[in-house]
Amino acid sequence: QKEVEQDPGPLSVPEGAIVSLNCTYSNSAFQYFMWYRQYSRKGPELLMYTYSSGNKEDGRFTAQVDKSSKYISLFIRDSQPSDSATYLCAMSSSGGSYIPTFGRGTSLIVHP
Amino acid sequence: GAVVSQHPSWVICKSGTSVKIECRSLDFQATTMFWYRQFPKQSLMLMATSNEGSKATYEQGVEKDKFLINHASLTLSTLTVTSAHPEDSSFYICSAEKYGVLSEYEQYFGPGTRLTVT
């Protein structure tokens, strides 16, 4: 079993839909959880960064962490075609300088 | 801001030649930079951790003599793929660490370099 599991998709939704992206993990020591967005042939861009359990909202994006279930989610409200990209979850356990473990990414397609 | 650049963005080289890829943190200093490799529709695979002024730390299975890393300053790390072969063709991405608002280090990624070896 991989440390971080993420469905590669693709996930195809109509414009305006609410999108739910998820990752599960097995390492209970993970405390820091990140979501990155990667457009085709570009480097990943940090979207959300949360610590421990709970929710964090930033504009149309909401990140949720449920450490008891080892499950994290990223919700995108009012999805736009420009949201079409690959979304990677990442997580780490160490404080200070860290090296995160990445999921393989979920490809999202928002069609007009 | 936290901007990381890479150069070149795309390079084609012949088998047996060497290619150097540069990674720069443009508006912050990065003691630590990371080099990743990404195959199509796959996740990021960490190759090595580059620390300014010291030798890089390579992940298991990564040949340090083939992938030479130099971190000569707080804003520049280079990856040289020596004696490249077609199987080295991939998307190479660097990232740089910056101390974030959560009192932890955040990684900011460069735009990537697509290497094609013919």
Q: Is the pLDDT of residue A4 over 60?
A: yes
Output the CA–CA distances (angstroms, integers) from residue B51 to A43, A72, B62, B74, B76, in the order listed. 21, 31, 17, 9, 10
* A contacts of B111 (beta carbons < 8 Å): 42-43
Q: How confident is the model at residue B102 (pLDDT cuts 50, 70, 90)?
A: low
Residue B79 CB partners (closer than 8 Å, separation 6+) = B20, B21, B23, B35, B47, B67, B68, B69, B92, B94
Distance CA B100, CA A104 (A): 24
Residue of A nearest to B48 (CA): A99
Per-residue model confidence (pLDDT) at position B39: 87
Distance CA A105, CA A7 (A): 7
- How much of chain A, in percent, has pLDDT values that exceed 70? 95
**Cis before B8 (ω within 30):** yes
Interface with chain B: mutation pick from A6, A46, A48, A106, highest number of B CBs within 10 Å: A46
Q: Residue A45 and residue B44: Cβ atoms within 8 Å?
A: no
Q: How confident is the model at residue B2 (pLDDT cuts 50, 70, 90)?
A: confident
* A contacts of B6 (beta carbons < 8 Å): 43
- The bridge status of strand A106-111 relative to strand A54-58 is unpaired
Output the CA–CA distances (angstroms, integers) from residue A109 to A39, A102, B41, in the order listed. 11, 21, 14
Interface with chain B: mutation pick from A89, A99, A107, highest number of B CBs within 10 Å: A99
The answer to whether B78 touches B21, Cβ cutoff 8 Å, is yes
Q: Is the pLDDT of residue A95 over 80?
A: no
The answer to whether residue A97 neighbours chain B at the CB level (below 8 Å) is yes
Q: How confident is the model at residue B69 (pLDDT cuts 50, 70, 90)?
A: very high
Amino acid present at A60:
R
Shortest distance, CA A88 to any CA of chain B (angstroms): 8
Burial of B37 (0-12, 13-18, 19+ CB in 10 A): buried
